[in-house]
Structure 1
Amino acid sequence: MRGFVYVKVFFILALVNGFIVHKNDLPSLCSSKKERARRRPLQPYLVPGEKSSDLLVPTSSLISTSEDVSASSYKLYASRWLHLFLLSILALVSDWACFATAAVPSTFQQATGHESATLIDIFLVSNVLSCFLYTDISRRLGLRNSTVLASGLMFFGCGLRSGFGLHIPAYAWLVTGTILIGIAQPFFQCAPPLLSATWFATSERSLATATALNANQLGIAMAFVVGAASVTDTDKIAPYLGLITLTAGFCFLATTFLFRDRPPTPPTASAAKALDLSNTENQPLEDIPPPLLAYPSLLKTLLFETPGFTGPLVAFVASIGVTNVISSFVGDALDRATGGGSVGAVGAGFQIAIVLGGIIFSAYVDATRTYKRTTLGCLTFAVGTIALLGVAMGYDADLPPQLVIFSMLALGAAVGPVQPLNAELAVEVAHPIDENAIEATQQLAGNLFSALLVPIYQIAGRFDFEFIEDFSELAPATHYGFNADFDDATHLHHHLKGMIMPQPSWLTHSPTDVRGDTLLLFVLVAAAAAFFATFEFDLKRAALDDSAL
């Protein structure tokens, strides 16, 4: 009965939303043809050398008529912060649902017979497929309609996963709900650059993008804090998942009634210029047949015809891969490094560090526009922290737990900001190509890579590499009481030669080793930093905004 009430509420809200959306979108019978074309959410957009039907309009241009806007009339609306909050909370709930049982994997496996990491992988694969379609769907529906539709889909998916708060459903329903949530998430994760370009000033865009793009990390933090506190046994899983469903329902309701496509007037010269470009052809919109899928053409343009785009793409992918893997296996990492501890608190702290780091570094880049220098600094620092964690997570060394936890938090604060910074950098170098397509490409590549990285990371963890010979007679052992003795015969040890150094006094259980999974992350981030350093970037959108001042 309770589940039936949930379903009724879902469909009633969907009907109300449909009335609100279409009442605002349907052209008036007395409107002129030109006016009807202006109101439509899809506009033709030309990139040099392309036909109007080949590429998409940057949806940041879908604002009032450009002839009514001058440089002196750019205006910021207070409601931009409400829209940023709504998009951020949707992203938060989507990753809370994805990582819901990451803090209690053994309890979830006892209840369902399946690993929680499997659902995370299913979520990421669904996310990838949705990213490929996101640009075309959002182009046809507009920012508001697509966001509301996705929030409703997420609400229903959460309901299926939770048995609508009554009981843990069959595993097939858990998988189905996870797929629906994975399909919905790109509509929250790909939209931040578009939202910031549509609603925010030049000096606010990186900060706005970072806030919305990293809000999903707070969702993962919620999973660790609330999940660890709520799920004390298998009987508590269904009510906990029901709480996520209730939260998703409130988000759907708020988005339905409060979210809008755009402000009445553009906030920047680049937004106004995008509108001018969209009006370069006078052919009526109804006479332009849009392609069935325009995103593949845009993807080709971004990857092969846009100088500088692959640099931020690789940095973004490396960042999202590391954060997803650490988030999925933070419990295992803590067990290896400290012999246990508060998984919920440290897991949540890692996500909060990502968010705070994103806000701080994005605000700095808004003021300085030092995208390259800041990104390289973050990646270089991340390489150092991964190296330290690699020693701590090996079988031989015994580091102070405080140092291990601090290093994990520092890694989050360093590697997390790389995502929002390079989301904005990609928009800058690819301007005036559609922001939706740019972020969809980054999310598609990042989540596909993460889905592949998770099993590779698990396999790599079976290998162990020794870097320091046994100098225990020179270094007195100091035990912190966290690492258990391991039987070397039960592990695969592969010795790397030529890296022998005296052992510091604070390392014990000689020799010192690094597990293969941590070494994998080290090589990944180091290679991404080296590749990114080879690029120089032309900030086209910022130059356009500066020229209007």
Structure 2
Amino acid sequence: MDVKDPGTVVAEQAEDNNSLPGDDNNSLHGSDKNSLPGSKENLNSSSDGSEKKDLEKDSGEYKVYPMRWLMLALFVLYSTSNAFQWTQLVIITSILEKYYNISTLTVSWTSMIYMVLYIPLIFPAAWLLDKKGLRLGLLIGSFGTCLGSWIKVFSTASDMFWLTFLGQTIVAGSQIFVLGVPAQLAATWFPADQMSTATSIGVFGNQLGVALGFVIPAMVVRDQNLEENYHQIGSDLFYMFMVVAVKTSLIFLAVVFVFKDTPPTPPTRAQESRAESDESYIKSIKNLVSNKGYVLLLITYGMNVGVFYAISTLLNSLITRHFDYEGVTEDAGRIGLVIVISGMAGSMVCGIILDKTHKYKETTLAVYVLSFVGMILYAFTFRFGTIWVVYVTAALLGFFMTGYLPIGFEFAAEITYPESEGTSSGLLNASAQVFGIFCTMLGEWLFRITDDRIANCILAGVLLVGSLMTAIITPDYRRQAAILATTTDKYKEKEEA
């Protein structure tokens, strides 16, 4: 008898209500479909239409639910609303400098505050997500994003930048319930053959927010050359902040009334085993930091994403240095959009590849090396003096560098199983914030005192070192091994029966 791929989940549709395994207590073990009709317990449990599982996928032992896509969609909306505000101010740096009478570095801190706060806050946040569940984390995060957005609405006077920064700080603090969630949500709700794709979609929300943050502010907040027209900048900022505040309020309400913590039954044996364990959070951290492969990935992930953060934060300054024409700020925003949109495509392509091949290390290394190549090309294209060339190299860079994000999450989940995906991905993001602060401040300093090619080449050097370190990571795929062992045992038992 052929043993099926452990990642495959076969969809079955019940023929009538009598065959619906609606009892959560026995749904994990009701693998024999023929034994379901006529069961009094199943007749009673299927009476609630909202709990019908006629659209469930069934591997014979574990089930998944259509509502998983709704949970993922809600997270994507929340993630988008938070990430949008990361780039919404730095992309109009030149406009804010004159309106608020502040320095470039001050504006850059509206982006770097995301990185600074993440580092100390990720540890309590990861504990909360691991022990208290996804719902509480998303409730706190979406509320903080909403609150910070409303504070910024009242900060559009030219002497109120401090209030803008306060609102930005609250939103930035809420990011701790965004970056580490995709892998955990995917493992909680999705079957093995959809986890990488679900993680990619979850990361897609963050990328979409960054992309919109690059392009929309540059379109809404118009530059003014005459000081007597500076008040129009304040009006444009008020409009932008108000729209964002309203949308984050609606998202918060949706999370309150719709988002669920877990499905009625776990989707995989790996997830069921984790739910049965009661390992302490401190022990989990110790296990992670004693895993040599994970420590290497922790460093290399931070390098790659840190360079991306630096590029994103300094994009406006770099573009306006080399190009001087009306609408250059809008072009800077569109180039940022191109970087992230191409990265979304990269994320989805890589997620599909991982689900089909499970070659986590090979895919991670290939994407890392190509990110280095893209960075070298990006560093030298500004000297051509042609903006469309920058668009092309930015798209190439974004496809691989941004596409790396979900790969790192899934690679970490594989080599650290059975540790929580929220904890492993949270630490990866903490590393990214550390490297992001370092790379951004180094890049900003080098841009001021020397040629920007030197700064970009140094950032490319960081990616080269990261590629070499990735090559020596041992591909210990523990999660796949657990799924394979469980699936093989199950089919052996059926053959013996």
Match of 2:348 in 1: 359
Q: Is the 8 A contact 2:307 2:459 kept in 1?
A: yes
Correspondence list, 1:311-350, <5 A:
311-336=296-321, 341=328, 342-350=331-339
Task: Give the deviation of 1:266 after TM superposition.
Answer: 1.2
Match of 2:219 in 1: 229
Residue from 127, 141, 144 that aligns with 1:136: 127
Q: CA offsets, 1:274-318, max 9 Å, x none?
A: 23444xxxxxxxxxxx9xxx65543332122x2411233233212
Match of 1:527 in 2: 465
**Residue 296 to residue 68, structure 1, CA distance change in 2 (3 Å):** closer
Q: Is the 8 A contact 1:224 1:345 kept in 2?
A: yes
**Residue 117 to residue 464, structure 1, CA distance change in 2 (3 Å):** closer
**Residue 245 to residue 538, structure 1, CA distance change in 2 (3 Å):** same
Correspondence list, 1:372-387, <5 A:
372-387=361-376
Task: Give the deviation of 1:221 after TM superposition.
Answer: 1.4
Q: Is the 8 A contact 1:75 1:266 kept in 2?
A: yes
Aligned residues: 420
Q: CA offsets, 1:71-116, max 9 Å, x none?
A: 6131121111111111111111111112112221122222223342
Q: CA offsets, 1:295-351, max 9 Å, x none?
A: 5543332122x2411233233212211221121122233345555641222111111
Q: Is the 8 A contact 1:66 1:275 kept in 2?
A: no
Match of 1:193 in 2: 183
For the residue of structure 1 that corresponds to 2:154, the secondary structure is helix
Given residue 73 of structure 2, which amino acid in structure 1 is its aligned partner?
F
Give the distance between the partners of 2:321 and 2:285, measured in 1 at CA. 41
Match of 2:264 in 1: 264
Q: Is the 8 A contact 1:65 1:275 kept in 2?
A: no
Match of 2:397 in 1: 411
Q: Is the 8 A contact 2:88 2:213 kept in 1?
A: yes
Give the distance between the partners of 1:339 and 1:312, measured in 2 at CA. 41
Q: Is the 8 A contact 1:163 1:169 kept in 2?
A: no
Give the distance between the partners of 2:332 and 2:234, measured in 1 at CA. 18
Q: Is the 8 A contact 1:206 1:363 kept in 2?
A: yes
Give the distance between the partners of 1:93 and 1:530, measured in 2 at CA. 35
**Residue 107 to residue 335, structure 1, CA distance change in 2 (3 Å):** closer
Correspondence list, 1:497-536, <5 A:
515-536=453-474
Q: Is the 8 A contact 1:102 1:223 kept in 2?
A: no
Give the distance between the partners of 2:134 and 2:392, measured in 1 at CA. 40
**Residue 328 to residue 522, structure 1, CA distance change in 2 (3 Å):** same
Q: CA offsets, 1:11-60, max 9 Å, x none?
A: xxxxxxxxxxxxxxxxxxxxxxxxxxxxxxxxxxxxxxxxxxxxxxxxxx
Task: Give the deviation of 1:173 after TM superposition.
Answer: 2.1
For the residue of structure 2 that corresponds to 1:536, the secondary structure is coil
Given residue 312 of structure 1, which amino acid in structure 2 is its aligned partner?
L
Give the distance between the partners of 2:342 and 2:26, measured in 1 at CA. 41
Provide the alpha-carbon RMSD of the alignment: 2.4
Give the distance between the partners of 2:340 and 2:371, measured in 1 at CA. 15
- Is 2:373 aligned against 1:435? no
Q: Is the 8 A contact 1:110 1:234 kept in 2?
A: no
Give the distance between the partners of 1:380 and 1:89, measured in 2 at CA. 31
For the residue of structure 1 that corresponds to 2:90, the secondary structure is coil
Given residue 517 of structure 1, which amino acid in structure 2 is its aligned partner?
A
Give the distance between the partners of 1:150 and 1:321, measured in 2 at CA. 23
Residue from 184, 193, 218 that aligns with 2:174: 184
For the residue of structure 2 that corresponds to 1:72, the secondary structure is coil
- Is 2:294 aligned against 1:309? yes
Q: Is the 8 A contact 1:167 1:238 kept in 2?
A: no
Q: Is the 8 A contact 2:381 2:389 kept in 1?
A: no
Q: Is the 8 A contact 2:207 2:344 kept in 1?
A: yes
Identity percentage over the alignment?
Answer: 21
Task: Give the deviation of 1:360 after TM superposition.
Answer: 0.8
For the residue of structure 2 that corresponds to 1:275, the secondary structure is helix
Task: Give the deviation of 1:516 after TM superposition.
Answer: 2.2
Q: Which runs of 5+ in 2 are unaligned?
A: 1-23, 32-58, 223-232, 488-497
Give the distance between the partners of 1:83 and 1:402, measured in 2 at CA. 39
Q: CA offsets, 1:388-441, max 9 Å, x none?
A: 222224xxx426433322111100001112121111111111100122211111
More helix as a share of residues: 2
Match of 1:211 in 2: 201
Q: Which runs of 5+ in 1 are unaligned?
A: 1-63, 279-289, 466-513
Give the distance between the partners of 1:169 and 1:538, measured in 2 at CA. 55
Match of 2:432 in 1: 446
For the residue of structure 1 that corresponds to 2:60, the secondary structure is helix
Task: Give the deviation of 1:65 after TM superposition.
Answer: 6.0
Match of 2:274 in 1: 274
Match of 1:251 in 2: 251
Give the distance between the partners of 2:159 and 2:111, measured in 1 at CA. 17
For the residue of structure 1 that corresponds to 2:133, the secondary structure is helix
Given residue 530 of structure 1, which amino acid in structure 2 is its aligned partner?
L
Give the distance between the partners of 1:260 and 1:81, measured in 2 at CA. 12
Q: Is the 8 A contact 2:79 2:209 kept in 1?
A: yes
